[in-house]
A and B are shown apart, each in its own frame.
Chain A
Amino acid sequence: MSTDDESFHPLGDEWEGELETMLDDTEYDSQLGMDMARDAMRVTKGELSEADFHEKYHEDVMEEFGEDERPTKEAYEAAQEEAKGTFSRMVDKFDGDGEETRRETMKKMGVGATAVGLGAFGTVSDGPEHSVAEGPRQETTEESDTQWGMTIDLERCDGCLSCMTACSEENDLDQGVNWMYVMAWEDDNHHGQEGSEYDVYTDFNMGSDFNMLVRPCQHCTDAPCEKVCPTTARHTRDKDGLVLTDYDVCIGCRYCQVACPYGVNYFQWDEPDTAYEDIDGLEDPDNPDQITHAEYDHGERWVDSRAPRGTMSKCTMCPSMQDGKQGEGKVGTTACESACPPNAIQFGNVKDEKSDPSQHREHPVKSRAIVHLTNGTESSKSAPSADDIDSALSEGDDLLTAIDNIEGLTVDILAVMKSIEMISEGLEPGDDENNSILRNEQEILSAVEAFQQYVDLNTEEAYTELGLGDGSEQQARFRLEQYTGDPSSFQLLEDIGTNPNITYLGQQPGPEAHQVDGPTAYEDVDLLDERQEDLDEGTVGRIDGVSL
């Protein structure tokens, strides 16, 4: 880094020159690009306001590109609230239509302004694991359209521990290595069974009296474990934001485990119980490499399944599934999600509004109702299909007769289905991965449509019968809330600044919350809760009951 040359760029003259050459290769005005880049740096230093920056180049940008999609002052203020770097936001803006390739977009926007000014430290580096500060909080520079994550409905969780056992089997984990950990908890404001008078019974939570917490790795966008790693073994996979450990690089210093605020790491203190050749997950591959090695821009890395001795492990969110190595059907799913009987875990791309975690997070009331009515195995209630309705109904049935004629249908269920239809925005599922909530919503919508072929539900009489008041959207929402509850959402330890990619629906444990015995005991499903019991057996010269 030079201080005495004339360059405005932190990486100095040479770097700047290189970029200028790149700009010259485009059809657009290099001088404008460099000028904008220079001022962009001034903006980062606070010497120039965003508004002034916008104004200064507005005419030139319009002339050169025919459009000026840079953030306005208002847009910037909103961005500040998100505490996101100025420039990544500008890139986003230019990236707007999502159709152009990254390269084209860069060309079009006068390249320099963003590429030179901002990405400098991050984007030039090789290595897929790169992550260096660009803004005050958001520290990962590579922006991908995919960020795997979860929305977990804690009121839907009944503590059966199926996810924990599924994770353990999928990854061939040792006893006590609970990558996925489910616990019941209590604090002064939230009692469990004994204090059930405080709890609101909803059909949705199946009357469970426990406050649950489901704790996989949070796959933080600003993961402290990655930041402190002295080797880059702990890294974020650029293409999908998974935080993983390269078992070939890890030196076993355990600083990641020290820095993680959530306690999700499990070290491999001795030889794992499952030999490498015997790693088979749930799939039984020809060669364990198929499920233990995940895909990167440059080759493969050993990041999946149980760790070898002397290295750190934690929940991976099943990269072998996300990479399609376990079949297309498993892309966008995890072992724990698939195993969860009441569908409390919604895994998917949290950046895609159509994904299950996004839908569940943004529309919890509606999504809960959909999950409940279409989750055949666990729900006491389920929505009939359009076909069922067509075969059961005939012209001229009145509402109550029609309900009676369809097996399993009740006024309540129909009211919920109708409410879903009334508040639905009609967003259709995408093809990328399993958008099960939106797909099931579509099924409910067609069922309601089928029903309405026979009975008109948009009458005052029908509204009254279904408890939908005046038939307004607000009434529909209220009806759904009665059915599923209206959960608040939270992320764990939001004030620590990790930007986790797990969002929870339900009760947030307070600072004094403590774990209590849950509905299912760990040992009943062959899980070990306190791993130390196991590790103590290997301790040389252990004195029972003595501890610091």
Chain B
Amino acid sequence: MSTKEPTEADILRPINTLTKKYFILYGAATLGLVAFLVAWAYQLQQGLIVTGLGDWGSGGGSTWGLYIGAFIWWVGVAHGGIILSAAVRLLNMDRYMPVARLAEMTTIGGLSAAGFYILVHMGRPDRMVTSVIGHYHITVNNSPLVWDVTVITAYFVLSATYLGLTLRYDVNRLRDDLPDKFEPVYKILTIGYSKKEDKVIDRMVWWLAAAVIIMAPLLLHGGVIPWLFALLPAMPGWTGAIQGPMFLSIALMSAISGIMIISYAFRRAYDWDHIITDDIFRGLLLWLGFFTLLFLWFQLQTIINGVFLGPTNKAVAIEAKIGHPVYQVAMTMIFGTLVYIFLQGIRPALFSKKRALLASCIILAGTLTEKILFVVEGFLHPTFDIYANTPGTYFPSLIEWLSLVGTTALVALLFLNLSKLVPVVELHAVEHLRGDHAHDDDATEPEVEA
């Protein structure tokens, strides 16, 4: 750990500086988002025919593709983020406190991107309110897609509340050093604040964290999202109980990788070596290794269940999966990263932040590839695969590829904007790093030496 003492000034630096690099990054992200918005407008004008999608069956296409694959991937990033942040609070993993808020913001960003994908994916997005909400009382009993929308909305509210509550403490303490132009925002954020609430908010946040962790297997990426696919009986590429754990492991892998990349960027931009320490990267990398191991183990379960005396439909689907070059590349990337993580665990000299960054990028690329392929595979090898045109063909169109740029830009913009508004590292974390027990009664989070 660095010998530099973390200060309030450190975490205020993003808010009170404005660099050329920031503008370049902001410009690039805006450009990426606008480019996709234009493409989306064209899609709205022409119809979904501008995508590479089609009808499975006699039509020889794939009903869902990159949009849904990216949707579940973003939801995974988001869910992993909130689980990570909740675990830090609930299990007193104080070591990771400096990145907890980044994880929460990642959740907000991921859910925004996922919500955007729902709209982009639909044939008639204009009917979202009338058709979906208007029949909600009936469809929520049946449709996994409605469960999804419900849960995503619920977690958006939950994460935003969580973030909002913890921000009150910081904004109040640091108010004098925050820019006056955002005064109204800070006023709303800290409305009715009194120091007496700190203790209550700590408890509330603890319970919110408990709720997140308890519901993770059921309502987050271990349940509702995989059920979108796993419950359909006639698509053997999707069906099965393994999808719950599989999705959860992917969510956590993606989220840890995402948070490492974002942390890396902030540390580099604002000289936070002493706040987001090497130790945090080492720890996150080990967790990434752990979830990657789980993921590969679940993949193995799926494959063995299909290819060893599997029922015909399952065997066909799984054989096609393991024979697919894109799957092989994705798994090789992920496995290779796991090997590196283990090796650097045994021989710490192999660790470097750049390598951790690279590992994160590879994992994110691997999980995104796996997700898109997973969605498409279902249509390629259904139980009823008598059609000459099944398996069909699908390759994302330029507009679909651009959506990845657009949503990534959207999340980047969220961070760029938020970092100018509020501290992205908690004041608690700084206080903790200093060994500073300024806030007196911390009943729910007993201090533990990192």
Contacts and interface: CB of A to CB of B under 8 A. Distances in A.
Nearest to A261: B234
A536 B389 CA distance: 14
B332 interface: no
B207 interface: no
Contacts, number: 222
B123 A513 contact: no
Interface in A103-135: 125, 127, 129-132
Give the dominant DSSP class at A's interface: loop
Given A269-B47, A535-B49, A546-B395, A493 B384 contact: yes
B53 interface: yes
Interface string A303-334: 00000011110000000000000000000000
B393 interface: yes
A176 B59 contact: yes
A309 B382 contact: no
Closest 6 CB pairs of A and B: A252-B123, A263-B57, A541-B398, A310-B123, A261-B234, A538-B49
Given A255-B144, A529-B389, A538-B49, 20 more contacts: A183-B58, A224-B233, A229-B142, A230-B149, A231-B127, A231-B132, A250-B131, A255-B143, A261-B383, A262-B384, A263-B56, A266-B55, A270-B49, A493-B383, A493-B384, A531-B55, A540-B397, A547-B395, A548-B326, A548-B373
Contact of B60 (A129, A254, A530): A530
A540 to B, nearest CB: 5
Interface of A: 125, 127, 129-132, 176, 178, 181, 183, 185, 213, 224, 227-233, 249-255, 257-271, 309-312, 492-493, 496-497, 509, 511-516, 529-533, 535-536, 538-543, 546-548
A259 B124 contact: no
B48 A515 contact: no
B144 A228 contact: yes
B137 to A, nearest CB: 9
A496 B438 CA distance: 63
Nearest to A493: B384
B139 A535 contact: no
Interface of B: 39, 42, 46-64, 121-125, 127-128, 130-132, 134-135, 138-139, 141-146, 149, 232-235, 312-313, 324, 326, 372-373, 376, 378-379, 382-390, 392-395, 397-399, 401
Contacts of A130: 138
A530 B383 contact: no
7 contacts: A183-B386, A229-B142, A231-B131, A251-B132, A258-B232, A262-B57, A267-B55
Given A230-B145, A310-B47, A530-B59, A513 B386 contact: yes
Contacts of B382: 261, 263
B399 A541 contact: yes
A263 B59 CA distance: 9
Given A183-B387, A264-B57, A269-B47, A532 B121 contact: no
Nearest to B66: A548
B57 A127 contact: no
A492 B57 CA distance: 15
B233 A261 contact: yes
B386 A266 contact: no
Nearest to A514: B386
- Which of A127, A267, A513 has most chain B Cβ within 10 Å? A267
Given A264-B57, A269-B53, A535-B54, A530 B48 contact: no
A127 B48 CA distance: 30
Contact of A252 (B54, B122, B373): B122
A540 B386 contact: no
